[in-house]
Amino acid sequence: MNLLNKFYNQDTIQHQFLNRDIKLWREELEGIEEEIHFFKNFLEVPQNRTNQELSSEKLLLKLTEKRLENANFLSLLSNFSIKLEGINECDNIQCETFYFNDFVNFKIQIESFLSQYRKLKKNLFLKINSHFKK
């Protein structure tokens, strides 16, 4: 796949990368939504409720917290995607810088959330794996 055409100008290339990040984040957040649903269902199965490692209320609370954060980021991402379209109206570097700074700040926030979620997911997988090894 050739993402960049040699005839694109610098602004078009930057916009393509911004749009690509937004698309990837949306896919990631939608996947997280399904994973959390799966994990909660798995942990609430009666035979898993008898295992202390898997029946932790703290674990269910963390999943609920991440589900809410994820839903919030999905909403923020939709709004941010619309807001970012304003960059197309920019006719000077100051205007573009405003949008790029917003993008960088949003990127830091969402990637921090994604990193935290990956750590939680790894922890869940380790607990589930140790449960099956017993």
Tell me the angle at which helices 10-43 and 57-84 cross, rounded to the nearest 10 degrees. 160
- For residue 105, being part of any structural domain is answered with yes
Alpha helices, H only, the chain: 10-43, 46-49, 57-84, 93-133
- Domain membership of residue 10 (yes or no) is no
> What integer pLDDT is reported at residue 22 of this predicted model?
95
Predicted confidence at residue 134, as pLDDT, reads 62
C-alpha 6/C-alpha 60 separation (Å) is 50
- Whether 1 maps to a domain, the answer reads no
Instruction: Please state the φ and ψ torsions of residue 91, each to the nearest 5 degrees.
Output: -125, 10
| Nearest of 27, 30, 52, 54 to residue 19 by alpha carbon | 27
Does the residue 122 lie in any domain? Answer: yes
Tell me, yes or no, whether 110 lies in a domain: yes
Answer whether 0.85 is exceeded by the pTM: no
Distance from C-alpha of 96 to C-alpha of 67, rounded to nearest angstrom: 33
What pLDDT score does 74 carry?
A: 97
Instruction: Please report whether residue 59 resides in a domain.
Output: yes
Q: Is residue 39 part of a domain?
A: yes
Residue-level pLDDT at 10: 60
- What's the total number of domains in the chain? 1
Does 55 reside within a domain?
Answer: yes
Q: Note down pLDDT in tens along the chain; length 134 residues.
A: 555 555 555 666 677 889 999 999 999 999 999 999 999 988 887 776 666 666 678 888 999 999 999 999 999 999 999 998 888 888 899 998 999 999 999 999 999 999 999 999 999 999 888 877 76
Q: Which domain holds residue 55?
A: 15-133
Angle between helices 93-133 and 57-84 (to 10 degrees): 160
